[in-house]
Structure 1
Amino acid sequence: MGLGLTSNKVLVLAVLSAVLLFAGTVWLWPRLARRSLRAVGGRVGLLLATQVALFAAVGLAANQSFGFYASWADLFGQEKDQGVVVDHTPGGGPLEVVGSRRVPGAAGVSARAGGRIQQIDIVGRTTHIATPAYVYLPPEYFQPRYRTRTFPAAVVLTGYPGTASALVEKLHYPRTALELARAGRMRPMILVMLRPTVAPPRDTECVDVPGGPQTESFFARDLPDALRTHYRVAEKPGGLGIIGNSTGGYCALKIAMHHPGVYGAGAGLSAYYKAPIDATTGDLFQGDKGLRNRADLWWYLKHRPAPDTSLLVTSSRSGESNYKDTMRFIERVEATGRTRISSIILESGGHNFNTWRREIPATLEWMGGRLNGR
């Protein structure tokens, strides 16, 4: 790997540099104790160099542990290769998707021409969970010839803790959907963008927590009901899909598998396949073994009937810690013979926005091909 970002050699060099600069600062400090301009400049230079080396070492160590960036190009946002969807059903093949171009902003553009993004608050009728969201309505939604038409919709989830606005401003979901529809690459689609953290600051992992937030029920029942009440969203089955990255990716896969009659497709970008238990989640299952097993997608595939739904998973050969699990998950789903599975596997890409931006155009096109309007 040479001196790549994730190379152990780079980490060792950074640590050695920090140690040597610290030792050099201690050794040279008495000689730089004078009040001359040169001495002051030397002290400032040594302190600055030591701190930079220290932060670099800590950052490289954290990156190796969590896989935020796969390479120097990934770190500086220079990875541009777009994701390719591979359909793992018999007869499936690669579908190459061209990267998104910048679409002019909506300022000064009518809803009929550029669509509209609404900021709303959603309150669950049965769970009483309240959470903010952004809703993207495509331009066709406002055009007279489509006034009686219903539209497919995709719920889009952030990671944990995440901010819903990042789905609009950093991951560019509405802009990408608008461009793909204009290019004829997918049908116009409503996007409902929010974070899975509906009971902040707790990470509920989209679980119905005993005595706590009924998060899965919110996404499986309350949210779809609210959308169909207030927007022209296509009726089930097949009118609603769900997408997410990281924690949101796990949620998307799980909810699509648990509720195939509600969600016709689920896409997990950089997802994992089993709910963690840590300081952010607390005790999600309260000793309920059945609930814990149900939240484990490995267990679910082995012990429950295969759901009639379509799934998409993503990873990268270099940079993502979920690569081996993702390949194993594809094999497990293929073995069911009923659940349909597709994937986007990048050569290189870390657990970050730049990677997901490369996967989102292909993901939206895939989703659009599996949902129905009217």
Structure 2
Amino acid sequence: MIGYKFMGKAHSHAYRDVSFYFDPAVEPVLQVLCGRNEENVKEAAAKMGWKSYETDWRKLIEREDIDLIDVVTPNNSHAEIAIAAAEAGKHVFCEKPLAMTLEQSQRMQEAVEKNGVIHMINHNYRFVPAIQLAKKLIDSGRLGKIYHIRSTYLQDWIMDPQFPLVWRLSKEVCGSGSHGDLAAHSIDLARFLVGEFKEVNGILETFIKQRPIVEDSSGLSGKASSDQMGEVDVDDASVFMARFENGAIGTFEASRFAGGNRNGNRFEINGEKGSIRWDMENMNNLEIFFLDDEPGLQGFRTINCTEEIHPYAGAYWPAGHIIGYEHTFINLTLELLNGVDKGYSPSPNFIDGVRNQAVLAAVEKSSRSRQWVSISELLQNQKTTAL
């Protein structure tokens, strides 16, 4: 695994615990953890259960005792590492968003497909049991034709103007702000549950234009080095409308300036026969409404998705004994390992990553042009440009 902080901790925990709850087709062996700071990565490797550590990711690519490269680095290194890993015949698991740009993401997809390696992107929210139940309800027709999705992903951790200029606020490292970090998850869930996007119209906004230069950055925190200020060149908030290929419409909002929201990843989906609602801060619950319920008793009911009948839930605890954020990574890791064993790339994979990246890019283009942007036209133009 390359990288070891916030997501490195989540991924490491999943590799260590997946065999405790499930019976994956292959057993993960935590061979080597890689990071640039030798002292820090050595400490992290020992704490998180890795057999060894390394400071140069290129050396990992050359090792014959490694089958899978897990990329949990900042966004600007995803493409280089993933492409090199694929060309060396390694399977690749990559953090989201897949890349800095649509063109980068397409090159990543081409590399994994050309070299015949297994590939997957980390959109862990797909693997919440409640989300999996929502998918079953929609696919079985219980909600009928889908009309709307309303999706928000709200946080508030950078509202203080003196919060330092961490890497997630620098375009050359992350590509975009709340848009790529938060809206990417909302886009993936919408594609998973509703269908492919047709066109979008949106705006991006930066509220705090300058912040103190950072001395050290770790996860979602950082320490200012001095009174010197640097430019914030990514968005603080992203808002867009969407039309889907199947006729549904949607609204999406991602912001790091929504006070009181620590991790407000939420959506409501409305169909001709019913509706569903979900909130990450109460992730075990799915709210469901069916239009054909008896008059006078209609309304949203809350399903605590912890029973054996609910996807993945039966591997954990008795009904009502809730699971947490970390278990979404365990569920995803199970699918990844089974895919490696059976020779297929579980969804979400790099194909999904490219489709998600296209929607992100289309919103950015719309914000600049103040016009609707077609996803298919954007993909076609990108393909023509590449040729």
TM-score by length of 2: 0.28
Asked which structure has the greater CA Rg, the reply is 1
Please identify which structure carries the higher strand content.
Answer: 2
